[in-house]
Amino acid sequence: METTLFEALGGEPVIRRIVDAFYDRIDKSTVFRSMFPADLAETRTKTFEFLVGWTGGPQLYMEKYGHPRLRMRHMPFPIGTVERNEWMRCMSEAVTEVGVDPKAGRAFFDSLWKTADFLRNKPEGT
């Protein structure tokens, strides 16, 4: 049986800690503070549920909300290279803070990077 990224990262408790460490940074980010809601509790839970399923664990997000349609859902927010890089900085620091198996951490980071890049929706230089 092949191990999922979900298992390699350490399952739900580790993903919850990564998401919390990530939103603690989003909360303090000058790039993001006005883009995200003041109260991040629901956003934390939704992102946790999404990442559990996305890494190969139980489909918690899909069961509640259906297909995430990430690109469409991010359209209201202007996302360019700066925002992509800032999102990845927050995530990279969160993963480092929590501490995961290095191979699993790299695979997680690479997949997130591809998705973050795909979510860019504004012309450069604006």
Give me the residues that bind ligand HEM (CB under 6 A), please: 35-37, 42-43, 46-47, 50, 65, 68, 70, 73-74, 77, 79, 83-84, 87, 112, 115-116, 119
Q: What burial class does residue 21 get, using C-beta atoms within 10 Å of its C-beta: 0-12 exposed, 13-18 middle, 19+ buried?
A: middle
* 3-state helix, strand and coil shares in percent for the chain, rounded to the nearest 5: 65, 0, 35
Least distance to ligand HEM, CB of residue 69, Å:
9
Least distance to ligand HEM, CB of residue 17, Å:
17
CB nearer ligand HEM, residue 28 or residue 77: 77
Least distance to ligand HEM, CB of residue 1, Å:
25
Return all residues near 74 (Cβ < 8 A) that are at least 6 apart: 119, 121
